[in-house]
Amino acid sequence: MGMTTPIGLASGDGEALWYDSGLMTVKASTEQTAGGFFAFEMLTQKGKMTPLHSHPDEEEIFYILDGEILTHTAGAEETFGAGSFIVTPRGTPHAFAVLTPTVRFLCMVSPAGKGEQFFRATAEPAPRRELPPLSEPDVDAMMKAMHDTGMVLLGPPPFPHLLSSAGHSS
């Protein structure tokens, strides 16, 4: 059975979570979409980069609203800015790094369920609708959440040229 209730949220509306140095605003939950997709807006900052990973059972869709990211998908690097649309098929190795002081994007994971489960296991309720302090991720919590949701960790962030100039503040 598909969705039965429309979703309409104004800018800034939705549950706010702090996730890995970013502000995540949930736009459509697994429950609301009857498992069809999970959608959230993410505001994050330079220094954020994901490890190389894949989602065996989900597509991941990004629409960049502001700022730029560098993606590494199936071995190829490409820069995407505002207005860019990116679909990563299930099972495809990928990662991204933020290139601008901040980036804001809409992300959808389809089908829903495991994606939302991963983020809820590694995020915390945002006490304020603003970026959290830049910090190192809780690697143990992320590894457990990856294992529990079937996400596959393939390696560290594949951006050695950025890692030397990046660095999180303590």
The CATH number for 127's domain is: 2.60.120.10
pLDDT of the residue at 46:
93
Q: Which of the 8 DSSP states describes residue 79?
A: E
Question: Judging by DSSP bridges, how do beta strands 85-88 and 59-66 pair with one another?
Answer: antiparallel
Asked if pLDDT for residue 168 goes beyond 50, the answer is no
Residue 119 lies in a domain: yes
How confident is the model over 109-122, as pLDDT tens digits?
A: 999 999 999 999 99
Residue 7 lies in a domain: no
Predicted confidence at residue 52, as pLDDT, reads 96
Q: What is the pLDDT of residue 135?
A: 81
**C-alpha–C-alpha distance, residues 104 and 163, integer Å:** 21
Q: Containing domain of residue 85, as a range?
A: 16-163
Residue 96: inside a domain, yes or no? yes
Residue 98 lies in a domain: yes
122-127 mean pLDDT: 96
∠ CA(130), CA(133), CA(136), 5° rounding?
A: 135
Rounded mean pLDDT, 42-64: 96
Mean pLDDT of 46-63: 95
Q: How many folded domains does the chain comprise?
A: 1
Mean pLDDT on 56-76: 97
| Residue 95 domain flag | yes
Q: What is the pLDDT of residue 164?
A: 65
pTM value?
A: 0.92
If you search the block for the tokens 């995407």, which residue do you land on? 80
How far is Cα 24 from Cα 48, in angstroms, rounded to an integer? Answer: 14
Within-domain flag for 5: no
Structural domain includes residue 77: yes
What distance in Å separates the CA atoms of residue 17 and residue 131, rounded to the nearest whole number? 10
Residue 140 belongs to a domain: yes
Q: Please tell me the total number of residues recorded for the chain in this structure.
A: 170
